[in-house]
A and B are shown apart, each in its own frame.
Chain A
Amino acid sequence: MANIQPIDKNVHANLKLKNNDNFIQSANSHVVPVVVHEFGVASQEFPIVFMKDQNTGQFRAIALLGLKPEENLFFDVKGWKGDYAPESLHCFPFLASQTESGSNNVILCADLDSELLNEADGESFFNDSGEQNNWLAEKANRVVSLVEKNKLTQEFIRTLLDNDLLVSQSLNIKLEGEEKFTINGLYVIDESKLNALSGDDYLTLKNKGFIAPIYASLFSMQRINRLAKLHLKK
């Protein structure tokens, strides 16, 4: 279980963040959440699809990092094997929490159980005079901005659902030298339903800026082949 605590210079004066260039937290994840703002660039690397959170039933946008549970084809002890890593990987082990429910004020928190945090190696949270270091302030901005981006991503997904554009999709995969297998629980944008939208509905999507991410997700399905190649090279 994560131990999420607000960062407090009195308590965490000596805390340091280890280097995490290879995003070690994702070593055993075959999916990672993505936000709608990065669909374009992420679609060059990963299939971008939708999945339900098993705990809430709510849809999330995710990038597929592997073809099987716990398989991350981009992780390597020597460094991340892709040209791009999703924003949520950069923010770990930090997150923003509302000061109180419904409030717009957020405070920076971290998972204190993360192996990336310690008092020996890495970048210090605070300098000798007890002020937060620049990198931490930048990280805080990135974390807060990710919260906003997540909100827009949720609106994007809601719009897809309202327009009946998502469909459940099973991926049947046959790799050389392996038995055929199926990835279930994925949802993708249905291109024929998109093409069948009325002019008014399409215009609404355009005005919300959702056309580009829709196509990014559609084209990103080609990246399945890339995953297959990486899988075979393993």
Chain B
Amino acid sequence: MDVVNEIIIVGGGTAGWLTAANLGKKFKNETGQSVKITLIESPDIPTIGVGEGTWPTMRKTLANLGIDESEFMTFTNASFKQATKFVNWKATPENDQKNHYYHLFTSITDAAEFNLGPYWALGDKSTTYADAISAQAQICEMGLAPKTIATAAYEGMQNYAYHLDAGKFAKLLKKVAVEKFDVEYISANVTGVNLSVDGYISSVDTDTAGRKKAGFFVDCSGFKSLLLGETLGIKFKSIKDTLLTDHAIAIQVPYKDMEQPISSSTISTAHEAGWTWDIGLANRRGTGYVYSSEFVDHDTAEQTLRDYIGPESKGLESRLIKMNCGYREKFWHKNCVAIGLSAAFVEPLEASAIFLVEASANMLCDQFPRNREVMHIVEKKFNKSFEFRWQKTIDFIKMHYFLSKRKEPFWQANKNLNTVPDSLLEILEHWKYHPVSKYDFTNVFEPFPQESYQYILYGMEFNQQLKFNESAFNMNSQAQMHFKKVQEITDYLSRNLPSNRALLKKVNQFGFQSI
């Protein structure tokens, strides 16, 4: 048997260090490391630091690594994220009348067990869908936290994720990987990649640390995709025909003072040729405009972002990022898997970047093929699984654009049927006459749950026609009970939760208890 005893990860950043920490933990036992993990990071290439928003899955990921939540939050200037608020996505605002809807993390019922969607849709819609099935939109409107200082670490009174400084997050993960899980860290540039006769990677050459051999390689080299793309020749599939944005311009905005409220949601605001993100960390806001350069020039785009920020944007530095959206034809080839930007990138509308890094690292750890002779079977499973997850992610993001009633050319182009995947058109056709159901989500690795789709569909005022089949929804009294319960919870939480800012101060001062 040809057993893998060393793994080399090329590249640091969130992807590299999260993978390193997870692998390190998996292979650490009482006598040391059963598989040696080495991470080679270039001292010269800065990390992109993509993604400042996570999914709630991050809580479990961090807890599994034994990281203290309060330490993590303080170190990465993290804050609590409970939703994405989509502003002006429904339609172009007229006479300054903004519109918005929420994509929340908490719902009163598990939609797979009891879906309240159709009961809301058949009702008078006097409350929004989000407000009907969750307290969380109101919590976000009030800028409240998802828990109190007396709630245990990683637990919430409402489900939550984080906004964080991706650069600092990578540093924290590095510390954990190296100090706690014995990952070897080499600071060097990879200058060459060597293959054996069977086309497997045998070693990498570095400028200052010599030649490093391993049985398995993880490519976390970012957009460069040094191992999977450049060396193994796995092609990049652009998705620019589906998702039309190709640039982002980013500006970090300091708080006026340390009392300024911190938003409980990522605020995504639609503009003429794209959308802006607005992410409140503990110490600053991160903002950016994701747009299509076919529909707006860079200077106008920058001005749009500065107008969004307001007068305080004066003098703040901006950073232009070219986005090449798409994914590799394969993510795993022979003894190399790509995780992070080296594998794929889509616009950060639904915070999928870090989330899919977590998912990749988890599957790699859970399925790691120690026996090289049968590695190709895991390769096949991994590729199938992640091709599915990326396609679902792309469809889900595209759905936001496709359902919009905005009129500008960029938005019209997005509705051009040539740009819409058939899989999305088909499921939307189904949902026009049927509620979203668990049978639409048969894969356990669906990146976005049933409820996420309903938040978007109903939030966007998708025209779902259920009236003709109303008698099929015969649990209305139970549904009404849940709607009433949501009102009670909203009332209770709005009186008992502290503001995001107030809780973050206490996290710094006291920290959460482990129980």
Contacts and interface: CB of A to CB of B under 8 A. Distances in A.
Interface of A: 52-59, 161, 164, 166-168, 185, 187
Contact of B150 (A53, A164, A166, A167): A53
Which are the 6 A-B pairs with shortest beta-carbon distances? A57-B149, A52-B150, A57-B150, A56-B510, A54-B150, A57-B510
B134 interface: no
B515 A56 contact: no
Nearest to A166: B515
Contacts of B512: 57
Given A56-B506, A56-B510, A58-B510, A168 B515 contact: yes
Contacts of A52: 150, 513
Given A54-B150, A55-B149, A161 B514 contact: yes
A54 B148 contact: yes
Contacts of B509: 56
Contacts of A54: 148-150
Interface in B149-202: 149-151
A53 B509 CA distance: 14
Interface string B57-78: 0000000000000000000000
Interface residues of B, number: 12
Contact of B515 (A53, A55, A161): A161
B60 to A, nearest CB: 19
Contacts of A53: 150
Contacts of A161: 513-515
Contacts of A164: 514
B149 A167 contact: no
Contacts of A185: 150
Interface string B263-280: 000000000000000000
Interface of B: 148-151, 506, 509-515
A58 B509 CA distance: 11
Contacts of A57: 148-151, 506, 510-513
Contacts of B149: 54-57
Interface class of chain B by DSSP: loop
A71 B148 CA distance: 25
Contacts of B506: 56-57
A59 B513 CA distance: 8
Given A56-B506, A58-B510, A167 B515 contact: yes
B500 to A, nearest CB: 16
A149 B509 CA distance: 23
A167 B148 CA distance: 19
Nearest to A185: B150
Contacts of B515: 161, 166-168, 187
Nearest to B507: A57
A59 B511 CA distance: 12
Nearest to A168: B515
Contacts of A58: 510, 513
A161 B513 CA distance: 9
A174 B154 CA distance: 33
A54 B149 CA distance: 7
Contacts of A168: 515
Nearest to A157: B513
Nearest to A56: B510
Contacts of A187: 515
A60 B509 CA distance: 17
A99 to B, nearest CB: 22
Contacts of B511: 57
A69 to B, nearest CB: 15
A185 B150 CA distance: 9
A18 to B, nearest CB: 35
Nearest to B153: A57
A185 B506 CA distance: 19
B503 to A, nearest CB: 10
Residue among B148, B149, B514 with the highest chain A CB neighbour number at 10 A: B149
A53 B510 CA distance: 11
Nearest to B496: A54
A228 to B, nearest CB: 27
A66 to B, nearest CB: 21
Given A54-B149, A56-B149, 4 more contacts: A54-B148, A57-B510, A57-B512, A166-B515
Contacts of A166: 515
16 contacts: A54-B149, A56-B149, A56-B506, A57-B148, A57-B506, A57-B510, A57-B511, A57-B513, A58-B510, A58-B513, A161-B513, A161-B514, A161-B515, A166-B515, A167-B515, A168-B515
A60 to B, nearest CB: 11
Residue among B150, B151, B510, B511 with the highest chain A CB neighbour number at 10 A: B150
A168 B506 CA distance: 22
Nearest to B509: A56
Contacts of B150: 52-54, 57, 185
B128 to A, nearest CB: 32
A157 to B, nearest CB: 10
